[in-house]
């Protein structure tokens, strides 16, 4: 006396469509910037690092340094938590008024008790995408610009 109905109710179909649209809403934005998404993340990380070292040096009245080594493809820094390093990644050049554009070798940027002593611009590129991170030595502001 139990009858078996095969098929779906309207409520079940609506629920499945809602779940699929929810997954799509989270997945599509991450795929839309697939080419430049990694570059933007790298730019944000380096901008955050510049602000962190600048603010930490002002607050603690200690000297910190940021070392770009193009030969070893690494960036290292000493901050309040000690020595750290990571791969250079997409960094193609560092520009300082006192040194000009540096694309090879090694360059060290100092953060003193008054913060960074001169403006800095870091250029990152992946393929045809390019981003620049600029830090103003007077205001301590960091700006990210990209070519998109």
Residue 120 · residue 81 · CB < 8 Å: no
Please name the residue that has the structure tokens 């603690």: 60
pLDDT digits (tens, 9 = 90+) for 111-131: 999 999 899 999 998 888 899
pLDDT at 28 over 80: no
Q: For the segment 31-70, what is each residue's pLDDT rounded down to a tens digit?
A: 555 555 678 888 898 899 999 999 999 999 999 999 999 8
Q: Are 137 and 50 in contact (CB under 8 A)?
A: no
Dump the DSSP string for 76-105. EEEETTEEEEEE-TTEEEEEETTTEEE-SS
Domains held by the chain: number? 1
Structure tokens at 137: 């030595």
Enclosing domain of residue 47: 36-146
What is the predicted pLDDT for the residue at 61? 93
Flag whether 9 is in a domain.
no
| Residue pair 101/93 in contact by the 8 Å Cβ criterion | yes
Spatial contact of 71 and 88, defined as CB atoms under 8 Å apart? no
Q: Is residue 17 part of a domain?
A: no
Q: Is residue 21 part of a domain?
A: no
Is there a domain that residue 44 lies in? Answer: yes
Report if residue 20 sits inside a domain: no
pLDDT at 132 over 70: yes
CA distance 99 to 126: 24
Q: How far apart are CA 51 and CA 135, in angstroms?
A: 8
Determine contact, residues 114/58, Cβ cutoff 8 Å. Answer: yes
Q: What is the pLDDT of residues 62-95, one digit of tens each?
A: 999 999 998 888 899 988 888 998 887 788 899 9
The domain that holds 76 is classified in CATH as: 3.55.40.10
Query: Is 19 contained in some domain?
Result: no
pLDDT at 32: 53
Closest CA to 91 of 121, 64, 65: 121
The answer as to whether 85 is a domain residue is yes
Q: Model pTM?
A: 0.72
């Amino acid at each position: 006396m139990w009858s078996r109905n095969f098929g779906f109710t309207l409520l079940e179909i609506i629920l499945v469509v809602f779940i699929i649209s929810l997954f799509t809403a989270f997945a599509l934005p991450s795929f839309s910037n697939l080419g430049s998404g990694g570059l933007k993340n790298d730019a944000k990380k380096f901008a955050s690092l510049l602000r962190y070292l600048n603010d930490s040096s002002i607050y603690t009245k200690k000297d910190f340094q940021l070392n770009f080594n193009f030969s070893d493809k690494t960036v290292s820094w000493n901050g309040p938590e000690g020595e750290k390093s990571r791969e250079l990644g997409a960094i193609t050049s560092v520009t300082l008024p006192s040194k000009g554009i540096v694309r090879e070798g090694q360059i060290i940027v100092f953060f003193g008790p008054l913060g960074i002593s001169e403006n800095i611009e870091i250029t990152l590129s992946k393929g045809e995408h390019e981003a620049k991170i600029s830090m103003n030595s007077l205001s301590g502001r960091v700006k990210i610009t990209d070519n998109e």
